[in-house]
Amino acid sequence: MSSTRIHSGDVPADFSPHSLRDASGAGTVESHIDPGEIAVGVIIGRASEYFDFFVYAIASVLVFPRVFFPFEERLEGTLYAFLIFSFAFIARPFGTVIFMEIQRRMGRSAKLTFALFLLGVSTAGIAFLPTYSHLGFAAIIWLSVLRIGQGVALGGSWDGLPSLLALNAPENKRGWYAMLGQLGAPAGFLIAAGLFWFMLTTLTDEDFLDWGWRYPFYVAFAINVVALFARLRLVSTNEYARLLDERELQPVSVFEMSRGQGRNVLIGALAALASYALFHLVTVFPLSWISVYQTRSAPDFLQIQMLGAVLAAIGVVISGLLADKVGRRTTLGVLAVLIAIFSAFVPTLMGGGNTGQDVFILVGFSLLGLSYGQAAGAVTANFPARFRYTGAALTSDLAWLVGAGFAPLVALGLSANFGLAYVSFYLLSGAVASLAALSLNRALEIRD
């Protein structure tokens, strides 16, 4: 059996690795896993998920209103597309529950294999899906079913590696290791936006709507297959299985979880709500706004957003340094205040022409990187060891559902019917919820 060595200086004081016996049982070898190796698995998994996520999100703005809802005006068609977009976030917690039970009965490898199969079928299905002009209303039904399949599969793809990384990271570098997986968000957006920008600038509008938009889904399918097999190969080894067992990172009954840890799940989801609300208000919503009202060309706007994604990646890295210096809670709290201030300028900037929109994108992406870099597992430490695996998954699912799942639909609907000022209130409410949850979390720690 192979083993991986970790330097003693990289191990937190509370880590007491067990020994692994060889096949004969006659000797022992040390099974120590370097946090850097775990981080690679986290980055691979998160980057592939975010790329798939943004391919669908951008297509919901630039493609789906025209090929699946051609019978509606552009605004209504985009709102319908955003409604279907939200289905994955609704389905994701159900996927977590279903696949947790599969893992309890059949093991981690079977769970990830089934998730891989479902995600691949759903993503490839969208790439090959006939449009409304060929299949009629059935095309919309199939798009909805495949989107739900993506959500269920993403819930099932939780492998526990982010929690394992958080527990095994050196104590003085917890913020740094926590931000590594979050780099997948700006990286995924940059690649997805780049692919659509290339298609829009090299193809005619007719070719793009006929077959060009499908190509990013082919790429997403290939990346998901490679990434999930890489993660499967990682977590199915005896070394990682033993380490997951030692840290009690195993699924528990969701009903037991809800009874004993429901409050921690809710507080964890709300603690980073400002980041999750801002997530779609600088990525998906502005693109839909300029597309619906045709204030500027989509390729030019995508270029600004790609520059914003670079700034977000820099912000994610800086967030790791800040969190290790002043603490994750302080970092999230200060950023929630800054996001609240930023929310007041949404109408001025988005309604201020190209220059104002560019400022909105660049500042918004920068704040997103700084805040989202520490959004994952905001209160993971509040979970007792045996609840941490399931708790982290459900907390993430709930944060996406409450903070981001309906954000494009709500923001575009509010702005179209009542004005951009209502988008400010929506973002402000997320910042206030974050500050309240962070305050409750501090009270829980003091009480404990």
Note the pLDDT tens digit of each residue in 417-446.
999 999 999 999 999 998 998 887 764 454
Report the pLDDT value the prediction gives residue 33, as an integer from 0 to 100.
58
- Asked whether residue 143 is domain-assigned, the answer is yes
Give pLDDT, residue 330.
87
Residue segments in the chain with a per-residue pLDDT below the cut of 50: 1-31, 443-444, 446-448
Q: Is residue 16 part of a domain?
A: no
Residue closest to 179 by CA, chosen among 191, 201, 164, 162: 162
Confidence at residue 260, expressed as pLDDT on a 0 to 100 scale? 78
Give strand pairing partners of 28.
21
Residue 8 lies in a domain: no
Number of domains in the chain: 1
Rounded to an integer, what distance in angstroms lies between the CA atom of residue 330 and that of residue 157? 31
- What pLDDT does residue 221 have? 84
Q: Would 120 be classed as within a structural domain? A: yes
Q: Is residue 18 part of a domain?
A: no
- Give the bridge partners for 21, in sequence order: 28
What's the confidence (pLDDT) of residue 150?
93
Axis-axis angle for helices 328-343, 353-372 (nearest 10): 160
The 3-state DSSP class for residue 5 equals coil
Structure confidence at residue 396 (pLDDT): 86
Q: Is 27 inside any structural domain?
A: no
Give the DSSP H or E segment for 155. Answer: helix 137-156
Domain that holds residue 103: 37-441
With respect to residue 1, please indicate whether it lies within any of the assigned structural domains.
no
The total number of residues shown for the chain amounts to 448
Task: Reduce the DSSP state of residue 29 to 3 states and report it.
Answer: strand
What CA–CA distance (Å, rounded) separates 216 from 105?
A: 35
pLDDT at 18: 38
Q: Is residue 31 part of a domain?
A: no
Task: Give pLDDT, residue 32.
Answer: 53
The pLDDT score that the predictor gives to residue 5 is 37
19 three-state secondary structure: strand
Which of 17, 16, 19, 23 lies closest to 1 in space, CA to CA?
23
Cα–Cα distance for residue pair 240/38, rounded to 1 Å: 9
Identify the pLDDT of residue 247.
65
CA atoms within 13 A on the CB side of 15: 23
How high is the pLDDT of residue 39? 77
The pLDDT of residue 17? 38
Rounded distance, CA 253 to CA 387, Å? 9
pLDDT digits (tens, 9 = 90+) for 311-351: 999 999 999 899 888 888 888 899 999 999 999 999 999 99
pLDDT at 67: 96
| CATH code of the domain containing 169 | 1.20.1250.20
Residue type, 257: M
Q: How far is CA 45 from CA 38, 112, 436, in A?
A: 11, 12, 31
Query: What is residue 311's three-state secondary structure?
Result: helix
SS3 284: coil
> b/e for 334-370, b at 16 or more Cβ within 10 A?
ebbebbbebbebbbebbbeeeeebbbbbbbbbbbbbb
